[in-house]
Amino acid sequence: MNSNPKLLAIGLTIVAAAILAGMDSLGKILMRDFDTEQVTWARYFFHAIFVTVIFSLQGYRDFFVPKSPKIQILRGICMVGVTFSLYVSIQSISLAEATAFMYLSPVLITLLAGVFLGEVIKAQHLFAVFLGFLGVLIITKPGFREFNPAMLLAFFASFLLALYFLLTSKIASIDNPRTSLFYASIVGAVILTVLLPFSWIAPSFTQWLLLISMGGLGALGHFLLIKAYSLVPASALSPYLNAQVIAATIFSVLVFGDVLEWNFFLGTGLIVGAGLFLWFYQRYGSMRRVA
């Protein structure tokens, strides 16, 4: 394979990860003035508008009607649950800590696939699970500081994200990526639009621009990921998604002034390492067995 498409895909993935971390940072800033529901609504409502306009201008009309509507709706519910839980949590803990918890999802996927899909869980999988949960314990430091319940919300978000990825893999061969991207945003937009009157605060002109930017950043980040996945297999790009943890850490320190202790870096390293171990085993372990 020519190295240029792969390098471009890696670059797009890293940029997308940084954009999504920036979107979450903007969300945390906006939640100083607005309820979580309204900020999450903006993230999905304007995301859905951007996606609809972009796909329509490209001449696509096949993304409105899914072949598996129930799964697509369930995916959308999981996705909005991820964002809402994450945004509630980052009002009490650092963006870096919450994002680190999110990267426990590859480990949780292993467990959920064993429980719901009947996949065989091997010793290597259990080792990765152990590493991931050890990382969580180190970040939370139980017994050494007052436990923040917001960490449970961040963990719940990673659980929902794992479900989202499992459902996405289930419909990958049924619906096209455009349909999946559209429904990942439109379901949340519809749900939160219904709930919006109960928490609506009238934004100023500048705040409107920032709320619209939430959706724009989300759409741009996912659009870049789709472009990257069209160049090389998604599995080859998995390690580079960890750039979001790095970007979130930078935003936490520079934008919000968070002081991150040694346990965050050690725990995050174990969580990310567990995901990388699973990726390496799934990518190269099977090749050795075949050989």
Q: Write the pLDDT tens digit of every residue in 1-29.
A: 445 788 898 899 899 999 999 999 999 99
- Average per-residue pLDDT in the chain? 86
Q: Are residues 101 and 155 in contact, defined by beta-carbon separation less than 8 angstroms? A: yes
Q: Are residues 275 and 103 in contact, defined by beta-carbon separation less than 8 angstroms? A: yes
pLDDT band at 77 (very low <50, low <70, confident <90, very high): very high
Rg of the Cα trace of the chain? 19
* Res 277 pLDDT > 90: no
Q: Write the pLDDT tens digit of every residue in 216-275.
A: 999 999 888 888 877 877 667 777 888 888 899 999 999 999 888 888 889 888 888 888
* Res 117 pLDDT > 70: no
Question: Which pLDDT score is estimated for 126?
Answer: 80
Higher per-residue pLDDT: 119 or 68: 68
Q: Write the pLDDT tens digit of every residue in 139-191.
A: 877 655 567 888 899 999 999 998 988 888 888 788 888 898 899 999 999 99
* Res 35 pLDDT > 60: yes
Pick the most confident of 34-38, 116-120, 158-162, 267-271.
34-38
Question: Which pLDDT score is estimated for 241?
Answer: 82
pLDDT average, residue stretch 44-68:
91
Distance between CA atoms of 20 and 221, rounded to whole angstroms?
A: 6
Question: Which pLDDT score is estimated for 290?
Answer: 43
Q: Which two tokens stand for residue 78?
A: 């999981």
pLDDT band at 106 (very low <50, low <70, confident <90, very high): confident
Q: In the chain, pLDDT over 70 holds for what percent of residues?
A: 92
DSSP state of 174: T
Q: Are residues 33 and 211 in contact, defined by beta-carbon separation less than 8 angstroms? A: no
Distance between CA atoms of 92 and 156, rounded to whole angstroms?
A: 15
Question: Which pLDDT score is estimated for 291?
Answer: 44
* Res 289 pLDDT > 60: no
Axis-axis angle for helices 177-195, 36-57 (nearest 10): 140
